[in-house]
Amino acid sequence: MSVLVPVELPDWAWQRAEVRQALRTRDIGAVFRCVQQYAGASQSRIATATGMTQARVNEIINGRREISRLDVYERVADGLGMPDDARHLLGLAAGRDTRNGGPAFDLAAFPEVVRVYSAQAAASEEIRRQAATAEELDVLAVRGLGLIGLNDSLLRSSLVREAGDRVRARVLLLDPGSPALALRAAEIGESTESLAGGVHVTEARLRELCAACDMRVYRYRLLPTWRLVRVDSTVFVSAFDAGWEGHESATYKVVETPHGPLYRGFRRMFEAMVGEGVRTV
């Protein structure tokens, strides 16, 4: 098997605003165009470095094809020699060559991550479709307005079913009186009062649904890290960061498998937060 030789970009290129925005939104076409500009690499050279065909690279650059598989993102990161901070913006772990504890596994060996979306909006259609027939629905959010609190939110319509078909829903929201909420408000440039008010609105709107479904709402006090939607045996998860909201980051679709650690880990985390949370609805 031939060894892929990475394309070398100057260190300053990875710090440019347009490069970092392309990584954050997983716009690989834009990343490839920056590689052409700042490294002088041809489409053929990019293809050789990332294990693709030149035709595939051309389609990605011109917006006719998108990347959704996590192992392909890894191959792109390796082929472009991305530094760890660039990999993190793309939603990947640190480079394999910096990890300790033995050899890294091919991501294809972990089938519980079945798809990666550039943002929640790209996954919304599938989330709605699965939630419409789900028996159980778990949500971990900050205020949850866009997910479940408003009439046109992502999940609200899935909570009202025909008579006899009641979904079991649990929602974790950030405690409006916690120091973590004030910190999160500062991170996203919003007032504490506004963010706290959003939590109160969501709680009030979810209280209206108690007659239609088995609704339970809890408050947690940790600084938000994960944004999670579980529909039965599938979890859609994204991350909060100081630089962006959870719905703006990449969304990972994780399914339950016999030995997969991610799905079980997120379930365990959610159950622990419910156990320590304060129920409000």
Residues 64 and 123 in one domain: no
Residues 87 and 149 in one domain: no
226 occurs within a structural domain: yes
Residues 164 and 232 in one domain: yes
Contacts of 208 (CB under 8 A, 6+ apart): none
Residues 236 and 180 in one domain: yes
DSSP annotation string for 181-223: HHHHHHHTT--HHHHHHHHHHHHHHHHTTTTTSEEEEEEE-SP
Q: What is the count of structural domains for the chain?
A: 2
Residues 189 and 268 in one domain: yes
112 occurs within a structural domain: no
Q: How many CB atoms neighbour CB 95 within 10 A?
A: 17
Query: Distance between the two ends of the chain, CA-based, in angstroms?
Result: 58
Residues 24 and 148 in one domain: no
Helix ranges restricted to H, the chain: 17-24, 28-39, 43-50, 54-61, 70-79, 84-89, 120-131, 179-187, 192-207, 261-276
CB of 32 within 8 A of CB of 65?
no
Q: How many CB atoms neighbour CB 203 within 10 A?
A: 19
Q: Say what the pLDDT of residue 248 is.
A: 76
Q: Say what the pLDDT of residue 98 is.
A: 43
Where residue 36 sits, what CATH number does that domain have? 1.10.260.40
Residues 64 and 165 in one domain: no
Q: Say what the pLDDT of residue 109 is.
A: 52
- The Cα–Cα gap between 213 and 166 comes to 5
104 occurs within a structural domain: no
- Tell me if residue 230 falls in helix, strand or coil: strand
Please tell me the number of Cα atoms within 13 Å of 116 on its side-chain side.
22
Which stretches does DSSP call E strand in 108-191? 113-117, 136-140, 168-174
Q: Say what the pLDDT of residue 108 is.
A: 52
Please identify, among 59, 77, 92, the residue that sits at the C-terminal boundary of a domain.
Answer: 92
231 occurs within a structural domain: yes
Residues 254 and 141 in one domain: yes
72 occurs within a structural domain: yes
Q: Say what the pLDDT of residue 103 is.
A: 45
Q: What is the pTM of this model?
A: 0.66
Q: Which two tokens stand for residue 180?
A: 């973590």
Residues 75 and 127 in one domain: no
Q: Say what the pLDDT of residue 10 is.
A: 87
Residues 60 and 183 in one domain: no
Residues present in the chain in total: 281
142 occurs within a structural domain: yes
Please identify, among 75, 92, 109, the residue that sits at the C-terminal boundary of a domain.
Answer: 92
Residues 21 and 54 in one domain: yes
- The Cα–Cα gap between 126 and 135 comes to 16
CB of 137 within 8 A of CB of 231?
yes
Where residue 254 sits, what CATH number does that domain have? 3.30.870.10
111 occurs within a structural domain: no
Please identify, among 58, 92, 126, the residue that sits at the C-terminal boundary of a domain.
Answer: 92
70 occurs within a structural domain: yes
Residues 121 and 80 in one domain: no
Domain range for residue 57? 11-92
Q: Say what the pLDDT of residue 99 is.
A: 42
User: What tens-digit pLDDT sequence spans the chain (281 residues)?
Assistant: 344 678 888 888 888 888 988 988 889 999 999 999 999 999 999 999 998 999 999 999 999 998 888 888 888 998 998 988 788 888 777 665 444 444 444 455 556 887 888 888 888 999 999 999 999 999 999 999 999 999 999 999 899 887 778 899 999 999 999 999 999 999 888 999 999 999 999 999 999 999 889 999 999 999 999 999 999 999 999 988 776 677 778 888 999 887 778 899 999 999 999 999 999 99
